[in-house]
Each structure stands twice: as structure tokens, then as C-alpha cells.
Amino acid sequence: MEQLVTSDFKLGIIAGGQLGKMLVLAASNWDIKTFILDTDHHCPASTCCTNYVRGNQLDYEDVIRFGEMVDMITFEIENVNIEALQKLKSEGKKIFPDPDTLRIIWDKGLQKEFYRNNQIPSAQFLLFKSKAEIIEAATTGEIPFPFVQKLRKGGYDGKGVAIIHTQYDLKNLLDGDSIIEKLVEIQTEISVIVARNCKGETKCFPVAEMEFNEANMVEKLICPSSLDEKILQHANGIAIKLIASLNLCGLLSVEMFVDKYNDVWINEIAPRPHNSGHHTIESIETSQYEQLLRAIFNFPLGSTKLKMPSVMINLLGEPDYEGSVKYEGLTDCMSIEGVKIHLYGKRITKPYRKMGHVTVIATSIDEAKQKACIVRQKLRVKSW
Ligand code: ADP
């Protein structure tokens, strides 16, 4: 692959959000030219990529046109026009991860069937076509309370999920093709990011533990996890089995539940860099972005050894502010040792919009947590 990493090699990245931006920055270390496809010419990656291409990742023609400009394609979002990717693949374009794998992951129903067929632990499920069908099945007792409904396509950050405890909650059901899952008695939620190159070498990043806010977005991400080593090894084993079963070349983020009996269940997966891997830039020897590049260029995978414990917090738009963004408290936070601030460059803030993140590295998790609390209080995303 050495000859591919030259100043002429063009890597196409579908969508230019914060994950795309951080991937572009990693690619620039190897002098790879990066092309970004996004509808917004002010998207976070637009200021640092080699070429910005305006277009919609869900539009067949836009994806084809973009694909023809580049030597290889990867993505930072899984909501992509898969038919266009398949057409490009049939013409010989290198696409990582493979569009066939993307098709399975894109649809939570196919994802769950894949887990069942490959003996990968995930909560029991049934498939339904509509809200009315679910109400009927709940009323006749076919699905016992409590349960969780997930729309098969398009959910993110908890949107597209309804937790139904009793019949009174049935009014909260969402309409559309859904899976119904058994409610797991969650002790904690963890994330394992695993990489696999095209030779089949795999490597996991240390397990990170997640804490959520009231809007169901990750509030704090703690690495390393304090869970028992046996549970962590088990979680890594599940992630490695899954990426190999999917024959995926690239990066797979695997969100899992640890239940109150210490059993581990897959919740959901994403075949790309992930919010739960932001901390890898500062706290791990190889970042998730460099690891993705190593995997798709078929280089040896980098070390995933922990350099420093870390706590990552998302910088979300304050609930009562919308408009041109203004950050408060930057100077104070910059003076705290180990506080690494990432601003994505989004011009407009909205309630709970992800505007940036902060990784706090310290010699202990307790110290990192204390500093993260100070940053959380001081650093505010508001509007003018
Ligand atoms: P999204 O993709 O929108 O983030 P998730 O599938 O991660 O949605 O679900 C959002 C949250 O709902 C999870 O973080 C978890 O707290 C809860 N949840 C989802 N599935 C289950 C389940 N089977 N049992 C218990 N809680 C669940």
C-alpha cells in the first residue's frame, strides 16, 4: 500500500461533520488528499480538507459523481445511498467498509438477524411493521412488558427508541418498521472500538464506559473502564468475533450493555469512527482516525495502549440558545492542565447540538473526573 500513500492519492470521505474533520486531520499526516462530500459548505471538515464537494450523501447521482473523483471511499456516517456505493464498487472502486456490510448495519432488523445467525449476544427481538401491530401484540401478551421499540432505520442519539414499561406507555410508540427488544437490566453501557485491516489483523481499543444526560446523549466517556478484567476481555472478544463475522475492513464501534448479572449484550454498532472514540486522540497511542486509515490502507494496525486515563465530555449547545455560536469560559478552561478542547467549527448552535468536545487527561480517573466537572460548569455554548 506504500505507493497509495502519495501526494496524489485521493481519499473520499462521505460527510464532513466532526468525525470527518478529525479523519481529514489524521490523513493529512500521511499527505493523503482528502475529498469531502457534504451538503453544507461550512461543514466542520470544509476548512481542512483538500477539496470540498457539495452534494447529498443520500442522492444517487451525487454519490456517483463524488466517487468518480476519488481513488478510495470511506464514510463518517452510515446513512448513505448504498445503491450508488454498490454501483461504484462494481466498477472497481475501493470502498471501506464494504457497502454489503453497510446494508446489514443500516437496518437494525438485519443487524439483529445477523447477530442471531452468528451467535453474537444481543437482546431477544421480534420484528413489526407498524405501531398498530405492536399495540395488538402487547395487548394479547405476545410481547410482555417492559420492552423497547427501535425503528429499523434512521435513529440516532436516542431518537427512534421508545422504552415501554406498561400499557400506559403504548401512546409513546413510534410508527414504522421496528424491532421490539427485551428490556435489559442495565448496570452500565460500554463501548468497544475494534479495527480490522484487509489482511484480517484485528485490534480493540480499551473499553470506555458511558454516562448519558437527560437528552440521552453521552454525557461523560470514561477510559479505562473500572469493570472487572474478565468482563472487559469478554466484551473485546465479542467485538472481535463480530468484526470478523462481518468480514469488515475498517473500524467498527460496538456499543454494549453490561447487565446486572455481568452479562454483556450488543446494543448497536457503527461501521465508522465514533463519538465514543474521541478520547483516543490524546489518551491512546493510536487514535481511532489513524487506526481507520491503517486498516483501509492495509498497514499494520497501531498500538492501542493507554497513554493516560481520560474523561471525555461533549460540548452541547445550551438548551435556551439558538443562533451564531459564542463560547464562554474558554480562557479559564485552557489554564487547566490536561484539558484538551476541540471545537468543531459549526457556526450555528442549537439546543443539545454537538458543538465540540473536551478530553481531560490526568494521572487518575478521579482527577480527570474532577477537572471535567469544572470544565462542564465553566465552558458554555451560547449564542450572541
Ligand atoms: P440510538 O441509536 O438512537 O442512540 P440506542 O439503540 O443506543 O439508540 O438506544 C438509546 C438508549 O436506550 C440506550 O443508550 C439505552 O440506554 C436504552 N436502550 C436501548 N435498548 C435497550 C434495551 N434493549 N434494554 C434497555 N435499555 C435499552
DSSP track, 251-317: EEEEEEEEETTS-EEEEEEESS--GGGTTHHHHBSS-HHHHHHHHHTTPPPPP--BSS-EEEEEEEB
pLDDT for residue 92 is more than 60: yes
Residue 267 Cβ inside 6 Å of ligand 1? The answer reads yes
Ligand 1 pocket test: which of 148, 151, 165, 221 has the largest number of ligand atoms within 8 Å of its C-beta? 148
The CATH code of the domain at 124-182 is: 3.30.1490.20
Q: What is the pLDDT of residues 253-274, one digit of tens each?
A: 999 999 999 999 999 999 999 9
Q: How buried is residue 347: exposed, middle or buried, by Cβ count under 10 Å (0-12/13-18/19+)?
A: exposed
184 lines ligand 1 (CB under 6 A): yes
What is the reported pTM?
A: 0.95
Cα–ligand 1 centroid distance for 38 (angstroms):
28
pLDDT for the residue numbered 6: 62
Q: What percent of the chain has pLDDT over 70?
A: 98
Share of the chain above pLDDT 90, in %: 93
* Res 159: pLDDT: 82
pLDDT tens for 198-248 read: 999 999 999 999 988 777 777 899 999 999 999 999 999 999 999 999 999
| CA-proximal residue: ligand 1, atom 5 (nearest) | 158
Cell numbers representing residue 194 in the block:
475494534
Sequence length of the chain is 384
Fold of 10-95: Rossmann fold (3.40.50)
Q: Which atom of ligand 1 is nearest to the CA of 265?
A: 23
- Give the pLDDT score at 87: 98
Q: Please say if the pLDDT value at position 1 is more than 80.
A: no
Give the per-residue pLDDT at 213.
75
The answer, yes or no, to whether any atom of ligand 1 lies below 6 A from the CB of 132, is no
Contact between 276 and 193 under an 8 Å Cβ cutoff? The reply is yes
Average pLDDT over residues 303-325: 96
Q: Does the pLDDT of residue 155 top 90, yes or no?
A: no
For the chain, the domains span 10-95, 124-182, 186-383
Beta 264-270 vs 147-151: how paired, if at all?
unpaired
Q: Residue range 269-280: average pLDDT?
A: 97
Averaged confidence pLDDT in the chain? 95
pLDDT at position 134 over 80? yes
Residue 335 has pLDDT above 80, yes or no: yes
215 in contact with ligand 1, CB cutoff 6 A: no
The pLDDT score that the predictor gives to residue 4 is 60
- What SS3 class is residue 98? coil
Give pLDDT, residue 154: 80
Q: What is the mean pLDDT of residues 263-292?
A: 97
What is the C-alpha separation between 114 and 103, in angstroms, rounded? 11
Fold of 186-383: D-amino Acid Aminotransferase; Chain A, domain 1 (3.30.470)
Question: How far, in Å, from the CA of 267 to the mean position of ligand 1?
Answer: 7
